[in-house]
Each structure stands twice: as C-alpha cells, then as structure tokens.
A and B are shown apart, each in its own frame.
Chain A
Amino acid sequence: MGIYTLSLKNLRRNRLRNLSTVLRISLGVIILLILVSSGLGISSFLEKSGPSSGKIGVQSSTTADNQSNLVSSAVNYINSFLGSSITENQFFSRLEGLLVNLVYLLDGLASVALLIGVLGIMNTMGFNLSERRREIGLLKCMGFTKREIFISCTLESGLLGFIGSIVGVIMGTLGIWLISVFFAPDLFNVLPLWLFVGTIAITTLLSLILGLYPAWFTSQIRVEEALLCDY
C-alpha cells in the first residue's frame, strides 16, 4: 500500500478532531474571503471614482448636486467640530487615504484570521501522531522508511488544510453572495477567480508547512520505544 493511500486512510480516524480542525480552517477561510472581498469592493469603488482629485463619489446630474450639498455640510461640520479649515478637495483626499488604509487593515485582519485557523493543524497533527506511536513502530517494522513516514504525515496535514479550504471557499462564496444580494449588489462581480484558487493554494501550503514539524518528530521515533507504547 502506498504512503498516499495511507495518508487518506488515516483521515478516517479521530473524525471529531479532524472535523473540528477542518471547521476551524474553514472559518478562517470564510473570514479571509469576506474581509478580502470587502477590501476589493472598496478598491473597486475607489478605482471607479478615479484618482484622488477631489471627485470621489461625485456623479453627474441631480444626484451630484445632492451629494455636493451633503459633502459641503459634512466638511462644514468637521471644520466647526475640530476647529480646522479643510477644503472639500482635502476632505476627499483624506477620505481616500482612509479607505486605502482600511483596505490594508482588512487584508491584514484576513491574513491573521486564516493563520489562526490554520495554526490549529499543528495542534491536531501533534495529537493525532502522538496517539499513533505504536503504529509508526509497526510501519517501520514493515520496512517503511523515515522519509515515507514523514511524507505520509505531512500529506495528512496538507489534506486537512485542502479539505478545510474547499469547505471554507464554498461557504465563504455563499456568504459573499448573500452580502452582495442584500447589501452590496456589485460586490460579487468584483471578486476575481484567483482569490478562490489562491486561498485554496495558500491554505493547503500553510497546512503542509505547519505539519512538517509533527511529521518530522514522528518519523524520528525509535521503533523499540514505539513498540513499548500501548496505543
């Protein structure tokens, strides 16, 4: 039996723990997708409004007049409240800067959310593999090399990450679609395909990387010690 099959079969066990890991990763992916799509929505809004030339959000015809009045009142309110004397153009450029920073902030939060979700994989793999010491000993007694055991365990964590990212992308896409239906009609259209593919690829890669240490540690177990274990 190949080591790849062995990795797949290993996912049959500790189902509750593996499921909780998959859900944690999925949650991270969902938060990532929603935050990144919000950021992309803001970026798209800024791009449509043109470069920072004081025209942000300003459109033609009667709505433009209404918005112009609204902006004038907002600027007057800010000046009277802060005792400042900013012009409408300065107001627009600061607002644009604020939105750009917000995009960075959302991206940063998204990365942290994903990282927290994926970090659980190290914990799960540590537990999964520590329960399997005797079996690792048996595998070595069947001629499995350290390298094969290392690859099998690493693949297992990669598979958990891959499944978690797929579930997360499906749920996240559904969430974004719902947001776009009820709150931001154009949001769904600005999302590029690379966001979904990239999320799956990065999550799987991160899971593989985080699974390296538990896998290496497991592959180094000495057979005689492993066979003394009751589990």
Chain B
Amino acid sequence: MITESILAFNQVSKVYHRKNAEVTALKDLSFSLPPDSSTLVTGPSGAGKTSLIYLAGLIKTPSSGKICIKGVPTSDLDDSERSLMIRNEIGFIFRRANLLPYLNILENVMLPMSSPDEGKAGKLLEKAHVDKWDRFPSDMSPEEVQKVTLARSLVNDPAIVLADEPTAELDREATANFLELLGKIDATLLLTSSQSSLHNFFDKSYMLEYGVLRSYP
C-alpha cells in the first residue's frame, strides 16, 4: 500500500514541547494519497493543518510514526537528501507572500530549477493564465501571486503539491478560479483550508479537529 501511494502517513503524531506543557498537534494520523488525486483537509484555526503540511513537506519531523513519499521513508533522509527530495518531488503553496519581491514573475517561476528553462516556465505561466512576465510581485493581485506560485510549484514536475490555505486571502470568484486551475495539475494535491465548502473541488476530503483526522463529510 505504501509504495503505491505518493504520500503515506502511518500512525504519525506531532507533539510540541512548550515551556511547561506538551501540545499534541497531530494524533496518530494514518492516510495515503494515490497518484494524481486531490485531497482537502479542513479544520478550524489551530487544528494542526499547517503542521500536517510541514510534516508532509519534510519541513518538520514527526514525533512518532512514519511518513513515506513515493515509498521512501523520509525519516532516513539526511539534510541534503531531504533538500533534493523537496526540490524534485514537492511543490509548496502558502497562504501569502510566496514570491521573492526582487525577482520578476518569470524569475520567480524559474527559481527552483537546476538549469533555467524559460520555455517550460513560460508554458506553466500560460496554463495559469498569467501574462506580462516582467512584472514584480508588488504589481500583482493576490490571485495572480497564487497563480504564479502554482506555476513555480510545478516547475520541477513534482509528485505532490502541498497547499497551505492558499485561498485564504482570495475572494470567492478568485478562489473558484484558482481551485479550477489546481484541478488541472498533473500531480497529487494536498490542500488545507478552513473553508469546508471547497470539498466539491476535491476527490477526497478530511476534517482535522484537535489533531485527529476524520473523513468528510
């Protein structure tokens, strides 16, 4: 089962150690995402959505349990192997300020590429309906910023795209447009949001509450 999925969580927990207390952000999470699937995780603020994305994206390590990406246990990776896996297999989209302000649109999209390929970056930007590539992030709307971020996240043909509340700062129309674009990508998608109304756009939805994951609805 683990090798067939792109991302697999097996009894994963995340505990934060504060000054005098332990806070359990995620409790015994087990799920797997098949190739080219789209999954929504909803939950209120503080439910552990961002922790889930950070664990899946190898930014944080679990307190217990096992995470595999394309069948590879991530706990066995050293720093450089982890960076390489992030570069090749994972694309990130965050809630805001995703772009580097001193690079124009095209440069931002080409940033993760080992060897710059304007053609490929341009095609992705066209698919994302973004024009005037010499503009800087300060001249763009939040929707355009997220579209450019989507193009950047796909530039290395990742196996999985992790999006942490990417629509939080978009209006309803922009959210619908952006989710439509996300539905067309050739990668597995894991998206978190506090808006459960988005579940129609996804193959599978989960609800995260107090660190526990439940199928939705």
Residues of B contacting A135 with CB < 8 Å? 100-101
Q: Give the residues in chain B near A223, CB-CB below 8 Å.
A: 54, 59
Stretch at the interface among B90-98, B184-192, B208-216: B90-98
Stretch at the interface among A45-53, A139-147, A183-191: A139-147
Residue pair B107, A141 in contact (C-beta under 8 Å): no
Considering only residues 104-140 of chain B, those with a C-beta below 8 Å from chain A are 107, 110-113, 116
A13 x B102 contact (CB < 8 A): yes
Q: B69-105 CB contact bits vs A (8 Å, 1 = yes)?
A: 0000000000110011111101010100110111100
A13-B137 Cα distance, complex, nearest whole Å: 14
The interface residues of chain B lying within 8 Å CB-to-CB of A9 are: 102-103, 107
Q: Complex formed: what's the CA distance from A143 to B84 in Å?
A: 6
CA distance A230 to B97 in the complex (A): 8
Interface footprint category on A: 20 to 34
Greatest chain B CB density within 10 A among A138, A139, A144, A147 is at: A138
**A138 with B100: CB separation less than 8 A:** yes
Whether B60 and A224, one on each chain, are in contact in the complex, defined by CB atoms closer than 8 angstroms, is yes
Within 121-178 of A, Cβ neighbours of B (below 8 Å) are at 134-135, 138-147
Contact residue among B54, B86, B101 (Cβ-Cβ distance under 8 Å from A143): B86
A87 CB within 8 Å of chain B: no
A1 within 8 A of B: yes
Q: Is the CB of B57 closer than 8 A to any CB of chain A? A: yes
A140: which B residues are within 8 A, CB to CB?
59, 83, 86
CA distance A223 to B156 in the complex (A): 20
Q: Which residue of chain B lies nearest to A6 when distances are taken between CB atoms in the complex?
A: B111
When A1-B111, A142-B86, A144-B83 are in contact, do A13 and B57 touch as well, CB less than 8 Å? no
Residues of A within 8 A of B87 (CB): 142-144
Q: Nearest Cβ distance between residue A128 and chain B, in whole angstroms?
A: 11
Measured CB to CB, the nearest residue on chain A to B109 is A1
- CA separation between A143 and B79, bound complex, in Å? 10
In the bound complex, CA of A42 to CA of B171 (Å): 75
Task: Report how far A4 CA is from B31 CA in the complex, Å.
Answer: 41
How far, in angstroms, from A135 to B80 measured CA to CA in the complex? 19
Which residues in A have their C-beta under 8 angstroms from that of B111?
1, 6, 139, 142
* Min CB gap B205→A, angstroms: 25
Whether A224 contacts B79 by the Cβ 8 Å rule is no
A84 proximal to B (CB < 8 A): no
- For the complex of A and B, the 5 pairs showing the least CB-CB separation, nearest first, are A143-B87, A142-B112, A143-B86, A145-B83, A141-B92
- Sample of 19 further A-B pairs with CB below 8 A, known A141-B94, A145-B79: A1-B110, A1-B112, A1-B116, A2-B116, A9-B102, A134-B97, A135-B100, A138-B100, A140-B86, A141-B59, A141-B86, A141-B92, A142-B111, A142-B152, A143-B90, A144-B83, A144-B87, A145-B80, A227-B94
